[in-house]
Amino acid sequence: MTIRQLHLLGSPILRQLATPVATVDDAVRRLVDDLFETMHAAKGVGLAANQVGVARRVAVVDVGEDAPPPLVLINPRIAQASDVMEAAEEGCLSIPDIYGEVERHLGVTLEALDRDGRPYKVELSGFKARAAQHEIDHLDGVLFLDHLSAVKRGLLLAKWKRARKGQSGYVKDVTPEPAGEL
């Protein structure tokens, strides 16, 4: 497994519509494993392939709960979504230190392929449903900022630009914290 570099806001691939996976082969499985490795190293709860520079419809979610176990989302599709919406603060590994309140469906039923290419269906609610919706957005080139009002988005983008001052490039290394560090 390899920790891959993260693409940050400004990298064009974050705005690309990812293409469906035709066959779940070893290369796709390696991508899934690398997404988990990279996400855990970056202390994230979800990661989409676009964020590591690969425009394929592959994402992972791990919010640290056992049921259901960490999700492998290959060609995911929201089959059903609850009418009930919930607003909560969200961040994104591709837009570090920027947070905004986003409305999401409280519950969703997903259809996707697992790591072995087998179709499955899963019902999610709460934070896990939120994380899955956020990752599926990534595969469509959508960022959480797009769900905010123009005013709020403008403020956060200005903050992002200030924080980025003097930095160039939109790809960064993920450095895992040494074991044992709190």
> By the criterion CB under 5 A, which residues form the site for Ni ion?
92
DSSP for 110-171, written as a single string: EEEE-TTS-EEEEEEEHHHHHHHHHHHHHHTT--GGGGS-HHHHHHHHHHHHHHHTT---SE
Residue number with CB closer to Ni ion (113 or 139): 139
44 Cβ contact partners less than 8 Å away, ≥ 6 residues apart: 93
Shortest spacing between CB 13 and Ni ion, in angstroms:
13
Shortest spacing between CB 6 and Ni ion, in angstroms:
10
**Amino acid (one-letter) located at 100:** G
Verify whether residue 37 is a known catalytic residue: no
Residue number with CB closer to Ni ion (75 or 94): 94
Residue number with CB closer to Ni ion (89 or 181): 89
Dihedrals phi, psi of 177, to nearest 5 degrees: -75, 145
Shortest spacing between CB 42 and Ni ion, in angstroms:
11
Selected catalytic residue, list 65, 135, 177, 181: 135
Catalytic residue IDs: 135
